[in-house]
């Protein structure tokens, strides 16, 4: 417990510290006036205060680039000293900051003009605390190609991937910030990748440019009378031809560096370097990169300034990524990195002349030597250089390059080279499994389980299944790792609230044991973390679920956590580590299918269904593997239950999940057959068993064969009789026979012996129904709410209820109408009892699926009746309104609007719409007779209705109903029958389970003598209630020796199963590789043939 608490202080609590430090930067809120005051106090601009004439200038300009009139008032003349910004410029409060609005584009960003030597810490505080930027997890500094050029499509793809990484990792991107060259293309890619995202999700693209190189910068300066925050309207003039640059409209933040000059490029480089260095040295609690924010320099093309930027970055121990094929200085460095042997100045110069011929030809000898020196200094640290080829640009090339560059820089740093945990966290963050396997988990390094707990927790949260497997293979003890604190953290702070809501909806909708158990487990964990937060100051120990199943089964709890959140591959890795894998797979299938039904997102529901089917397949294949090895142990797996899955066993979970494939497999069916026949041998013919029901002595004469042979001959006959009559099949047969007798007796009483006073046979009938009532009460008592989930139980309940109602009316023999009503109720009830007989056909392989077809076709009929009802009411009301006026008799309205249109669907043509055949003898004008109301007449006593409306109306109605709707119903029936017929055998086997379980759980005493057993059970229950209650300790699952033996054997079978799966995958991969080799050989042969043909043509 102490170890775990320390670990939480390191990782779990540390993550909270990190989060709070991040949120702190966004929670600080200032009003506009406070922000203006803060910026003017801490950020300055520079103005030249000594006019030093530039002799080279034709326009009488100062060395700073401004004319004398552009200097501030009080400027002095300097003719003696060499101009320097430190001596000859002066700091003033900055006058350019606020929001920048780009005209006609609707883009907004933040900007500030700041001094060349602004403190980096103050600048970082401005961005995080006042501009509300979150602390970056990574900084990508992009350099190269400051001049206009045409960006290659492959390079655009690389930058697109770079922006995606920045967004997914929460990174900042540093560029030159101008709408020119590489910065322009970076801005366009940022725009394209954020166009569909909200402002909170925008990529942070920070442009750092020289104030003196920005055109139209006067619009950025605040007027002296401006109060509060300022919004500048900036006009981008791309057509303007001057040495100044426009700001890029796609950058989110702009830092405009001022050293008091105009037209002097690259003066921002120093501030950018200092800011990058400061960020890289900041200590972030519990960072995945050794406690610091990593920075990587990304280079393409470029010239002198790019070379200097790379040189400074390398000296600052910042890794650099160079894109080979992008041209200029990037290609020079890339070619020299790959060169072998010692690096000579001549080789460097040769590369410079090859890739930068025009630039190098204009350099002096001294400048060329400087270039060569800078390149050599860069190449002295090859571990900080990573080269990617532009022609190999793929989706993962940039991500792999960044992660590899960061790892090389981290692992070669003197301070961090022995920090294996930090290196592993870095590779885990970038999902670099191969690098971790090759560089960290080597044979000469031994890992303790405690060393891997922090990274294991991160791998679980970030859904890195391959890393989880790697940690398990290298010594992590998953059971020790999964303490109550870890599970609480996973279920509370790393569990989707939407999943919890769906779980609650599913629990309330279906109310089964597994969903209720899982929901309570998640709720207890979430409640536990809240209690812990409240009592944290008191350092009281919160004991969460002390003796619960989750503490005894932490692996199952972790598996449930991963399954609920649809972590497909991760859940499979954890499933391989659990005990009771067959039960776990079926439990996962049940949970996923239940959640899929309540999810509003169709795609998410489909993913859950797909994963549920995969786990069902795994359960089927694993059980088949077990059954082929040992049938007896495999059958024990079917009845093994675990409290971690709500106390259910494999068969119960498979049935609740409707995993028909699992139930229908031979091993399960053989087990059900054993249950169905009991001790009677399955080879015994059914007709022999039924014959023995009437001729008992045949049982002891060897006419029936049994699975077990008794050793003692004296007990042989008794054992045979007991085994025979306790068989569920025999119990079923007895019930069928006596139920048929019951129906015959019921029919006889209704048809031939229904007197004013109940006869003896009728009283016997009452007794039999009472016994049926006792049986239904017993089933309801045993199954609880699940009893009403079976439609046959509902039919039984209705039948008994109507029978009791009929008795109440029937016994009032003095009242003739009441007595008659009782008889009518009995007749209707007989229909229900007779239809209940259909249930026995479930045992038949041929008739069983037909019952399923009937049940599903009833659903089709319901939807059909809804459509038909729309047509029927529409036609019936229109017909009645056209033919008759003011019919007040409701029964005749019903006949005309509902009943007669219904009959018309079956071909009965209405005869009151045709005036030539209409007869007034069959109707009434007054409404006092039991006849329909006559049609409305005109002045000549002829039917008023126009036949050109009524006849076509009937034709359209009969066309729509008799042809369209009826054929639609036939098509629906055909589809239903076809879908069941496709899985005919599987459906029957699945339904057979319910029959076996029903009669396997019944008392073995034949009907109707079972009433004696019910009387005995009631008396026994009453006797127990009067006596002292005995408290029995609940048995802990998986504590029995038999369970442990079975689960250990299943684990071995699981390993065999996984080996077979991997072997099949490897075989398919090798087969595919062989096919590719054959295809490659054929292509080479074809190329050779084409060359021969071309030579012959020549």
Beta 44-48 vs 89-93: how paired, if at all?
antiparallel
Residue 620 has a pLDDT of 93
708: which residues sit within 8 A by CB, 6+ positions away? Answer: 679, 723
> CA 430 to CA 438: how far, in whole Å?
15
Give the 3-state secondary structure of 351-377: HHHHHCHHHHHCCCHHHHHHHHHHHHH
Find the DSSP H helices in 535-601: 549-552, 554-564, 568-575, 581-598
Q: In this predicted structure, what is the pLDDT of residue 240?
A: 64
Compute mean pLDDT per 10 residues along the chain, 1098 residues long, and list them: 39 38 38 81 91 83 88 84 87 91 76 92 91 89 76 81 85 89 83 61 86 90 79 79 81 92 88 90 70 86 88 89 88 84 82 88 88 90 88 78 85 73 84 86 81 90 92 89 90 89 87 86 76 45 46 88 92 92 93 90 89 93 91 90 88 90 91 86 82 80 75 68 82 86 91 87 90 85 77 87 90 83 91 86 76 81 83 84 81 83 80 68 76 78 73 81 84 83 80 84 74 77 63 52 79 88 69 69 75 74
User: Coil, strand, or helix at residue 171?
Assistant: strand
pLDDT of 575: 94
Please give the structure tokens belonging to residue 613: 């089917």
Cβ count near 836 (within 10 Å): 17
Question: Coil, strand or helix: which one is 149?
Answer: coil
The whole-angstrom separation of Cα 405 and Cα 92 is 41
pLDDT, residue 928, reads: 75
**By the 8 A CB rule, do 140 and 166 touch?**
yes
What's the Cα-to-Cα distance from 1074 to each of 1062, 1067, 1078, rounded to whole Å? 18, 10, 6
Distance, in Å, from the CA atom of 109 to the CA atom of 199, rounded to the nearest integer, reads: 11
Question: What per-residue confidence (pLDDT) applies to 21?
Answer: 35
d(CA 291, CA 281): 9
**Which of 138, 111, 629, 149 has the alpha carbon at shortest distance from 405?**
138
pTM: 0.78
CA 806 to chain CA centroid, nearest Å: 55
Residue with tokens 């000898």: 365
CB-side exposure of 253: number of CA atoms within 13 Å?
A: 18
Instruction: Give the burial string for 485-522 (b: 16+ CB within 10 Å, else e).
Output: bbbbbbbbeebeeebbebbebbbeebebbbbebbbebb
Alpha-carbon gap, residue 14 to 17, rounded angstroms: 5
Report which DSSP code applies to 907.
T
Q: Is 959 exposed, middle or buried (0-12, 13-18, 19+ CB in 10 A)?
A: exposed
Instruction: Give the model's pLDDT for residue 609.
Output: 92
The CB-side HSE value for 750 (13 A sphere, CA atoms) comes to 20
The whole-angstrom separation of Cα 779 and Cα 789 is 12
| Alpha-carbon dihedral 686, 687, 692, 698, rounded to 10 degrees | -100
């Amino acid at each position: 417990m102490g170890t775990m608490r320390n670990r939480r202080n390191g990782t779990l609590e540390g993550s909270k510290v990190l989060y709070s430090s991040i949120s702190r930067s966004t929670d600080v809120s200032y009003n506009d006036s406070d922000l203006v005051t803060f910026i003017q106090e801490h950020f300055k601009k520079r103005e030249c205060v000594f006019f030093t004439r530039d002799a080279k200038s034709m326009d009488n300009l100062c060395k700073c680039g401004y004319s004398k009139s552009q200097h501030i008032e009080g400027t002095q003349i300097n003719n003696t000293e060499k101009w320097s910004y430190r001596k000859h410029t002066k700091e003033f409060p900055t006058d350019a900051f606020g929001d920048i609005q780009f005209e006609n584009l609707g883009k907004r960003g933040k900007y500030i003009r700041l001094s060349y030597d602004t403190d980096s810490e103050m600048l970082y505080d401005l961005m995080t605390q006042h501009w509300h930027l979150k602390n970056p997890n990574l900084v990508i500094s992009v350099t190269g190609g400051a001049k206009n050029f045409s960006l290659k499509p492959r390079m655009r793809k690389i930058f697109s991937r770079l922006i995606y990484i920045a967004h997914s990792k929460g990174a900042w991107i540093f560029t030159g910030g101008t709408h020119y060259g590489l910065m322009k293309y970076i801005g366009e890619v940022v725009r394209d990748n954020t166009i569909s995202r909200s402002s909170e999700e925008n990529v942070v693209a920070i442009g750092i440019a020289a104030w003196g190189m920005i055109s139209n910068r006067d619009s950025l300066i605040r007027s002296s009378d401006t109060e509060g925050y300022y919004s500048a309207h900036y006009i981008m003039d791309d057509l303007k031809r001057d040495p100044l640059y426009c700001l890029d409209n796609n950058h989110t933040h702009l830092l405009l560096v001022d050293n008091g000059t105009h037209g002097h490029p690259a003066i921002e480089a120093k501030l950018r370097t200092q800011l990058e260095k400061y960020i890289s040295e900041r200590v972030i609690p519990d960072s995945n990169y050794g406690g610091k924010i990593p920075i990587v320099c990304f280079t393409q093309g470029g010239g002198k300034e790019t070379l200097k930027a790379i040189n400074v970055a390398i000296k600052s121990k910042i890794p650099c990524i160079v894109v080979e094929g992008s041209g200029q200085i990037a290609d020079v460095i890339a070619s020299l990195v790959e060169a072998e042997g010692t690096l000579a100045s001549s080789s460097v110069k040769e590369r410079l002349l090859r890739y930068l011929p025009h630039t190098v030809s204009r350099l002096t000898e001294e400048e060329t030597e400087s270039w060569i020196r800078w390149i050599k200094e860069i190449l002295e640290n090859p571990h900080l250089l990573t080269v990617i080829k532009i022609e190999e640009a793929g989706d993962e090339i940039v991500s792999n390059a960044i992660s590899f560059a960061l790892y090389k820089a981290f692992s070669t740093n003197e301070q961090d080279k022995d920090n294996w945990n930090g290196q592993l966290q870095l590779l885990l963050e970038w999902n670099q499994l191969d690098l971790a396997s090759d560089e960290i988990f080597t044979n000469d390094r031994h890992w303790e389980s405690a060393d891997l707990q922090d990274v294991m927790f991160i791998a679980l949260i970030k859904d890195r299944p391959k890393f989880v497997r790697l940690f398990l293979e290298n010594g992590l003890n998953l059971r020790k790792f999964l303490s109550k604190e870890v599970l609480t953290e996973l279920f509370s702070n790393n569990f989707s609230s939407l999943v919890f809501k769906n779980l609650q909806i599913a629990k309330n909708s279906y109310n089964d044991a597994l969903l209720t158990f899982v929901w309570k487990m998640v709720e207890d964990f979430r409640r536990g973390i809240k209690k812990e937060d409240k009592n944290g100051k008191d350092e009281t120990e919160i004991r969460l679920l002390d003796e619960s199943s989750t503490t005894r089964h932490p692996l199952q709890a972790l598996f449930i956590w991963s399954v609920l959140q649809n972590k497909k591959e991760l859940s499979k890795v954890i499933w391989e580590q659990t005990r009771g894998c067959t039960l776990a797979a079926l439990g996962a299938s049940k949970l996923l299918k239940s959640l899929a039904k309540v999810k509003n997102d169709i795609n998410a529901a489909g993913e859950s269904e797909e994963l549920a089917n995969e786990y069902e397949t795994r359960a089927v294949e694993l059980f088949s593997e077990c059954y082929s090895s040992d049938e007896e142990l495999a059958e024990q797996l079917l009845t093994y239950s675990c409290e971690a899955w709500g106390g259910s066993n494999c068969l119960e979970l498979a049935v609740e999940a409707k995993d028909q494939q699992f139930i229908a497999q031979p091993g399960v069916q053989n087990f059900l057959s054993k249950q169905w026949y009991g001790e009677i041998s399955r080879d015994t013919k059914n007709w022999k068993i039924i014959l023995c029901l009437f001729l008992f002595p045949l049982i002891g004469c060897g006419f029936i064969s049994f699975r077990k042979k008794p050793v003692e001959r004296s007990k042989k006959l008794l054992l045979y009789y007991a085994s025979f009559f306790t068989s569920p099949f025999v119990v079923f047969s007895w019930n069928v026979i006596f139920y048929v007798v019951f129906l015959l007796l019921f029919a006889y009483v209704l048809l031939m012996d229904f007197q004013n006073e109940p006869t003896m046979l009728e009283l016997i009938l009452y007794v039999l129904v009472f016994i049926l009532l006792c049986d239904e009460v017993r089933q309801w008592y045993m199954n609880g709410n699940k009893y009403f989930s079976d439609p046959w139980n509902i039919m039984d309940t209705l039948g008994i209820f109507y029978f009791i109602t009929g008795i109440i009316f029937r016994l009032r023999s003095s009242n003739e109408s009441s007595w008659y009503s009782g008889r009518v109720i009995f007749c209707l009830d007989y229909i229900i009892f007779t239809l209940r007989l259909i249930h026995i056909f479930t045992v038949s392989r041929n008739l069983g699926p037909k019952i399923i077809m009937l049940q599903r076709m009833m659903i089709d009929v319901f939807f059909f009746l809804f459509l038909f009802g729309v047509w029927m009411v529409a036609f019936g009301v229109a017909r009645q309104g056209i033919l008759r006026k003011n019919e007040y008799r409701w029964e005749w309205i019903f006949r005309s609007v509902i009943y007669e249109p219904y009959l018309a669907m079956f071909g009965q043509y209405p005869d009151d719409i045709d005036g030539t055949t209409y007869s007034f003898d069959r109707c009434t004008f007054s409404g006092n007779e039991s006849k329909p109301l006559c049609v409305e007449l005109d002045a000549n006593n002829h039917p008023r209705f126009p036949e050109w409306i009524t006849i076509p109306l009937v034709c359209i109605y009969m066309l729509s109903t008799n042809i369209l709707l009826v054929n639609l119903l036939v098509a629906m029936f055909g589809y239903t029958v076809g879908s069941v017929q496709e899985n005919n055998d599987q459906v029957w086997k699945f339904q057979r389970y319910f029959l076996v379980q029903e009669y396997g759980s019944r008392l073995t005493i034949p009907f109707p003598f079972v009433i004696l057993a019910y009387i005995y059970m009631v008396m026994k229950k009453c006797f127990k209630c009067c006596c002292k209650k005995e408290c029995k300790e609940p048995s802990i699952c998986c504590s029995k020796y038999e369970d442990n033996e079975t689960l250990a054997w299943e684990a071995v079978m699981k390993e065999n199963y996984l080996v077979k799966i991997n072997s099949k995958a490897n075989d398919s991969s090798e087969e595919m590789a062989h096919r590719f080799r054959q295809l490659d050989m054929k292509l080479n042969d074809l190329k050779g043939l084409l060359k021969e043909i071309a030579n012959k043509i020549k």
